[in-house]
Each structure stands twice: as C-alpha cells, then as structure tokens.
Chain A
Amino acid sequence: MKTVLISLLGTTLDLKGKGNKRWENWRPSISLCQQEDLIIDRFELLHGKNFSRLASNVKKDIAVVSPETIVNLVESEAENPWDFEEVYNQLLDFSLNYPFKPDEERYLLNITTGTHVAQICWFLLCEARYIPATLIQSSPSNTPEGTYQIIDLDLSRYDTISSRFKKQHLKDTDFLKSGIQTHNSAFNEMITEIEHVALKSSAPILLNGPTGSGKSHLARKVFELKKIRNQINGEFVAVNCATLRGDGAMSTLFGHQKGAYTGALSARKGLLSKANKGLLFLDEIGELGLDEQAMLLNAIEEKHFFPVGSDQPTYSDFQLIAGTHKNLHHAVKSGEFREDLLARIDLWHFELPGLNQRREDIEPNIDFELREYEAKQNHKVDFNKRARETYLQFATSHEAVWSGNFRDLNASIQRMTTMSEGGRINEQNVAKEIQRLKMRWNDSPQPSSNKELCDFIDQHAIDDLDLFDQQQLMFVIQTCLQSQSASDAGRTLFNQSRLKKSSVNDSHRLRQYLKKFQLNYDQLKGSAIK
C-alpha cells in the first residue's frame, strides 16, 4: 500500500533560504520525508501562487533526501489564510476533487504547516471523513530531521476517552430520570432520545401522555440539564393551559399594557417574556384557545409577539416544551387545534407511557419516592420485607390500574410513610393502602372514550338498534363530548356535505339527529362533566 502525504507548504517553517545552512534547520516538509521508519511514496504539496518558487525548491530538496518520493505541486490558495470560511472552502474543494483511493493508498495529513485556522479546517475535514486520512505532525528535536507523531482521530479507539463520553452520557440520561434506575426499555430509549434532542437542539418538544405520567417533571429536568450544560440561562416557566380560560388567558401568556382594558391598572409582563432565554412548559396545550394558539405560533416562529393593547412587539427567545394528554391530531380535525401550530410543536414528539405500561419501573419509583420523603423529612422510612413484597405484588398486578399514574404512586407512598411507625412500613399499612387504592380506582370515572352507549340511552332502546346505528350514534356522541359547542361538533360531523349547501346550520342538523334518540347536546355535555 502506497503512503501519500498531503500538506500545505510551510511558508515560514519550510522557508530557510537557499544556502547550505538551510539543511541545518528543521523544515517540516523535508523532515517528514527523511524519517527512517516512514516512506512517503507521494507528496501532495499545496501552495499559493506566490510561493511557487519555494515549493519547487522544497521539491528539489525532497528529491535529495527521499528520491523515491514523487512530489506533486498543487496550486491552491485562500486569499486570507486566517479567514475560516475561505480556508475551509479551499481545503474542502481540494478534498472533494482529490481522487482518494483508500483501499489502495494510505493517506497522511500533515497538520504541522499552515495557519492555525488551516489546522482546524484539516482537522474538521478529516474528522468528517472528507479526507480519509490520519493526521501526522512533525516536530523539531535535537537533530534537524526532527521526529513525527501520527494522530489517529478514531475516538472509538481511545478507551479512556470513549468511556468518559459514555459516563457523561449516562449521567445526562440518569439526570433526566432523576436517578431512577428504570428498567422499561422503551422508556429508557425515549429518555436517551430526549437527552439527545434536548442537548443538540432548541426546537420545541411535545410530550404526550396521560395525566401524572411525569410530563412537567421531565420538562423541568430537561431545563435543569440544559442549565448545567450552559445551554440556557433564563428561567423555567410552567403553566397549565387548562387554567387559562377567557380574557385573562391572553394577558397571562403575552402580557398587557397599562390600560389595555378595564382593570388593567398596570402593565403586565406575561409568561412568554418571563421565559426569555429560558424554557417555557405549556402543559395541556390542547386546552389553549384558538386566538392564543395563533399568537403562540407567531411567538415561536418570529420570536416576538404583541402584548394585549400594544403596537410594539415584545421579543422573547425561549425553548418550548408542550404537554398534552390529548391526541392533538384529532383535535386538529375537530377544529380545536391549529394545524400549523401542531406542525410546529410536533417536530419532536414523545409518548410518555402511563405507569401501568411500565410495571417493571414501579419498584425503582417506589424507592425514589422513599428517598424523596427521606430528603424532605430528614428521616428514613422503608418497608419491612413482607410488606414490600405484598405492596409490590399488588402494585405490579393488573388489579392496580394506576389511573393517576405517578401522582397516584406518590400519594400512595406519602400515605404509607405518614402512617408508618418507627421508620417501617409494615404489612398492616400496606393492606390498608391497597384497600384504599382499590376503592379509589373503582370510584373514579372511566375516561370518556371508554364510555358505552348504555351510559347515554336506555338498554331497551339499544336492543332495538342495528349494530350499524349503534356505532354511528356512539361516534356522534363522542364527537359531541370532544367539541366546544354544538356547531363545532356539527362542523366536524358534516364536514363534506356542509360545503355543498348554500346556507349551513350544522348544529341544527346535529340536534335533529340526536333528537331521534331522545338525546340533546347540552345534556350530553352535562353528563360528561359529571
């Protein structure tokens, strides 16, 4: 295999005059050709136009010390050798045009010569594999021929470096999991992905998951991780959009000017401004009104928005993490959520599984809750052995539905620690707690999507209906439950036929349909609230 050296002419280091004295000085280009254990078969010497003479002198001297080396003088030049962009382009052009044959030739890239900018560019091109070479560095020593070092950039070959990377990486994912040693591989994979995304991008992240699955906890952890890594220096601002209803919503989020409306006695900053250079967590983003959604989209895209009553835009640059338990794509179809906003925040979409989908993680989470309790209360509480076994058996069984997810687990542990005596949770504490949990879960209303037709109409009436009609009616009821108003539901349901009508009254059509089953819209909505 032939060895090919690629190097910039050293306009200072290789320039030692034409007299015999030049041989007494270390010259990197010459030096690399007279190493006793290195044969350069070909030398690609890059030089600027003004240095042609020096280049050909160097070529002649190489012929003396290493007659077997073929020297190719390549004219290539950056006007300003300290301009990063120019130099990078120059060297990139060279590498793109060079007929590399890595199977037949071994390439060495000399980083001894050229400006520091050139060295960095060589390094980058080499690391990005534009140049399939190993780096070589020549250095002076006692003798004029100097010495050389070959630097292999393949980091995976450096055990200590790669293990340090691994450690750091582990620390970061560990951090996001608050040190909980989770076993669920899907969850662990997702955390690794989130860690990657969080550290490499500041694009919005959407966390989808049932309530209590840890969305806001995770959002805060992402913020803290970015803060440790100095990627963010503002504040963590969190708000649940379900609490932002009516007139106050706009002003809470975007702020208002003094006198913007009745009662606006002083100016208000708004949460988006507060989150400038920080992280904004909007939980239950699906509950945000359409006007607020429009403004938010603008704020994400343009990094500015208008506070209520102001003509002057306010600037805020924040990272957005949005949380929701809803399927926002359905919400888009039903007109509740802006498609463009969803597209913007859906770039990184993560599904947080509920606790009952991660039963193997229940035990580490129990230990986490116990540690948290210990940190807060300053004394240690733990289960006795039998109590732990019993609780775990129940907690990981299908009897335990964990409908409130981590919120349920947290509450359950809190209750047991409070009831415990002498720092031990015993079998009695556990038995009572299991009872409590079972009662809770039996009482709690099932999610609306799990509702059945019999919840709305008489069983006899159902028996008279075709399966076809049963299914249709159930779909209509569900649409009503998910819609803001009757006309809203009508728009979703009659989405095609309404386009052909000259005048539309979708809510009327809906009411007519429901009436056939002795149902009305407001009643339906009322039953859902209950």
Chain B
Amino acid sequence: MIEINGAFGEGGGQILRTTLTLSLLNQVPVKIKNIRAKRSKPGLMRQHLACVKAAQTISQATVSGAELHSTELIFKPQPVKGGTYCFDIGSAGSTTLVFQTIMLPLMLAQKSSHITFKGGTHNPLAPPLTDIKHGFLPLIKKMGGKVDIETQQWGYAPFGGGEWIAKIHPSTLNPLTLTKKGVLIQSRIRSYISCVKHSIAQREIDTYRERSKVNIDVSESRNPPALSAGNLLTHRLKYEHYETCFSQLGQKRMPAEKIAERLAHDVNQHLESGSTLSPFLADQILLPILVAGKGEYTTSEITQHTETNINTIFEITGKKFDYWPESNLFKIKMG
C-alpha cells in the first residue's frame, strides 16, 4: 500500500484530497499518516471527512480512520461508479473542494453523473464556485472534459446553505498547452451582492476601475440568492486562446474599496508577469494534466500548495511535473 506523509510541505488538507483523487483514478489503496500535522487542530476536521465520505460514496471504498481528529486514514477504493449523488456537507468547509476531489474520477467512470451539492460555495479558504465556473471549468472543457454546473443558491462561509448541481459525463482529456494568451477579447468585472447594500457593489466597481491596468468592457452587479449576507467581486478575462477568472470575497468589516484594491493587485500582478494561469489555477490544473498525460503552462508564482501537490503526485504515480523560472514567470510542464 502506498503511504503518504500528510505532514509534508504545506501539510494541510490538500495532500488528503489529492491522495484520495489519485487513489480513485489509479485504483490503488492508500494510507495517509500525520494528517494535517502542522495545523493547530491536527487530524481530520469535518470538511475533510466530507471529502473522504464523498470519495467513499462514489467508489464503495473500504475506509478506516475516518473520524474527527484522526491523523491516519486508510482508503481502499473499488471502481468508481457514475450516478446520481447528493452531498450535503452543511457548514463544513466548501462544496467546491468536494467537487474537485471527485470530478476527475467521475469523468473517467462509465456512466454520467448528476450530483447535488449542498453547503458552502464561497469560502475564503477554497476556490469560490464562481471561479470554478469561469476559470477552472473552461480549461477542463478546452481539454475535452464534459462537465456543466448549475447554481441554485449561494452559500457563504461560515454557514453554507448553498446548493448547486454538477453534471459530469464520461470524457477523455487531451493534453493542454497554454503558454500564450493571445489577444484580449473581453474584460468584465462583476460585483455579486447578497443581503448587503447595493452601494457596496458600486463602490467596488468604481475603485476597481481606477486601479485596473487593463481596459474594462463591462461592469455590472448581480444579486444571486443566498442563505446569508455576502459579496464577491470578480474579473473575467476572455483571451483568444482561453478564458480565466479572478475574484475577491467580501469580508465583514472590510471596506468595499479594500476588496477592489486586493483584486486589482492580484490581477495586475498576473498581467505584469505575462503568465497564462493564476497561481491557484496552476495548482488546480495539475491533476487534469496528469490524467491527460501531457501539458505545459505558465504562472506568476509556484506556491507551496503547488509544490506539495507536485510532490504528492510524484509519490503516488511516479509522474513528474517540472517547473523552472523564465523571465517574469514560471513554466510548468509534464510529459
């Protein structure tokens, strides 16, 4: 059985999720030790259990150690089955992390899947569902992945209460080469507000327009249904070769201007580097490229998350991602 040291590198929940996904994809039993050893509350928390349970549900895996505070987990999967599933995780973390854990295995299953997610959709410590929809999924679709999502209700941290559906169909992923952006076709900013004053959206848009170093074609606000109050500011960029999305979550007691400034900072840095993918996407796209067998892209920064993920992938599959700096950016390549 493959043993993974959960304390390696970033030492958090991502090692667990990547390991679960790879265990399902390669159909290998795994044992993870020292789970979240570097965190103040080590071991499995509710949000991690939610991922373990989802992975177990789609594969009928035999699991031991799936308990709160457990620092060791053994996961022995069976073939993944597509179908109708519902994962209600309440306020335990984000449903997007559960989605990312099981998306690729379900894509390789023989049957289509219809999955209902209930719980958090917009958490500060997970990719917001909006980013998944406008940043991550366009890349997957570009690679040939057949997946669509439908959002019914947003669920902001810390309560969750969101609801959305993912439809995943059997697909074959093709290699991705994304080293050039091409011409910028469209640039649009959008402020999503739920149960907060409309003026907040306007202030965010106004500030963002001042700070942005790129032309903005459309700026608008939206009022998605949500369980509780919340706000998200996004900037979607459509290039000749692909499209991507940056976002910043509103926080209690943080002025709208600050939210806009933060987002502008991230986007400007990305634009200056000339890279194709944000550091977040650079990390998230590793596993799809592994499945496709080949890929190459650029990013502005190799985060510890990315490094740890590359290492976990190598430990379990023996496949290696190389990365090196090139002028203002980093190039990441496999195969």
Interfacial residues, chain A to chain B (CB-CB below 8 A): 20-21, 23-24, 33-39, 64-68, 143-145
Known: A66-B91, A67-B88. A23 touches B159 (CB 8 A): yes
A61 to chain B, nearest CB (A): 8
Q: In the bound complex, do residue B227 and residue A64 qualify as a contact, i.e. CB atoms below 8 Å apart? A: yes
Q: In the bound complex, do residue A36 and residue B228 qualify as a contact, i.e. CB atoms below 8 Å apart? A: no
Q: Does B69 contact A (CB under 8 A)?
A: yes
Q: In the bound complex, do residue B69 and residue A64 qualify as a contact, i.e. CB atoms below 8 Å apart? A: no
Taken together as a complex, chains A and B put the C-alpha atoms of A145 and B159 apart, in Å, by 8
B121 to chain A, nearest CB (A): 13
With CB as the reference atom, state the residue of chain A lying closest to B89: A67
Q: In the bound complex, do residue A144 and residue B159 qualify as a contact, i.e. CB atoms below 8 Å apart? A: yes
* Nearest 3 Cβ contacts at the A-B interface: A23-B228, A65-B91, A34-B91
Chain B residues bordering chain A, tally (CB within 8 A): 25
Taken together as a complex, chains A and B put the C-alpha atoms of A145 and B252 apart, in Å, by 13
Q: In the bound complex, do residue B158 and residue A64 qualify as a contact, i.e. CB atoms below 8 Å apart? A: no
Interfacial residues, chain B to chain A (CB-CB below 8 A): 41, 45-47, 49, 68-69, 88-93, 118, 158-161, 194-195, 226-229, 252
Taken together as a complex, chains A and B put the C-alpha atoms of A68 and B160 apart, in Å, by 14
Q: In the bound complex, do residue A34 and residue B158 qualify as a contact, i.e. CB atoms below 8 Å apart? A: yes
Q: In the bound complex, do residue B229 and residue A21 qualify as a contact, i.e. CB atoms below 8 Å apart? A: yes
A249 to chain B, nearest CB (A): 75
Known: A20-B228, A37-B46. A65 touches B160 (CB 8 A): yes
Taken together as a complex, chains A and B put the C-alpha atoms of A33 and B158 apart, in Å, by 12
Contacts of A65 in B (CB 8 A): 90-91, 159-161
Known: A21-B195, A36-B45. A67 touches B118 (CB 8 A): yes
Give chain B's interface secondary structure class: loop
Taken together as a complex, chains A and B put the C-alpha atoms of A33 and B89 apart, in Å, by 12
Contacts of B161 in A (CB 8 A): 23, 64-65
Partner of A20, one of B92, B158, B229: B229
Contacts of B68 in A (CB 8 A): 37-39
Contacts of B226 in A (CB 8 A): 20
Taken together as a complex, chains A and B put the C-alpha atoms of A66 and B50 apart, in Å, by 11
Known: A64-B160, A143-B158. A37 touches B91 (CB 8 A): no
Can you list 21 A-B pairs, Cβ within 8 angstroms, ordered by A?
A20-B194, A20-B226, A20-B228, A23-B159, A23-B161, A23-B227, A24-B229, A34-B90, A34-B91, A34-B159, A36-B45, A37-B41, A37-B68, A37-B69, A39-B49, A39-B68, A64-B160, A65-B90, A65-B160, A66-B90, A66-B91
Contacts of B195 in A (CB 8 A): 20-21
Given contacts A33-B90, A34-B91, A66-B90, 20 further A-B contacts (CB under 8 A): A21-B195, A23-B227, A23-B229, A24-B252, A34-B90, A34-B92, A34-B159, A36-B45, A37-B46, A39-B46, A39-B68, A64-B91, A64-B227, A65-B90, A65-B91, A67-B88, A67-B90, A144-B158, A144-B159, A145-B159
With CB as the reference atom, state the residue of chain B lying closest to A145: B158
Taken together as a complex, chains A and B put the C-alpha atoms of A20 and B229 apart, in Å, by 7
Residue with the greatest number of chain B CB neighbours at <10 A, chosen from A35, A37, A38, A64: A64
Contacts of A23 in B (CB 8 A): 159, 161, 227-229
Partner of A64, one of B41, B159, B194: B159
Contacts of A35 in B (CB 8 A): 46
A256 to chain B, nearest CB (A): 77
Taken together as a complex, chains A and B put the C-alpha atoms of A21 and B41 apart, in Å, by 30
Contacts of B46 in A (CB 8 A): 35-37, 39
With CB as the reference atom, state the residue of chain A lying closest to B48: A36
B7 to chain A, nearest CB (A): 18
With CB as the reference atom, state the residue of chain B lying closest to A38: B68
A27 to chain B, nearest CB (A): 11
Contacts of B227 in A (CB 8 A): 20, 23, 64
Residue with the greatest number of chain A CB neighbours at <10 A, chosen from B69, B88, B92: B92
Contacts of A67 in B (CB 8 A): 88-90, 118
A24 to chain B, nearest CB (A): 6
Contacts of A36 in B (CB 8 A): 41, 45-47, 92-93
Contacts of B118 in A (CB 8 A): 67
Taken together as a complex, chains A and B put the C-alpha atoms of A20 and B227 apart, in Å, by 6
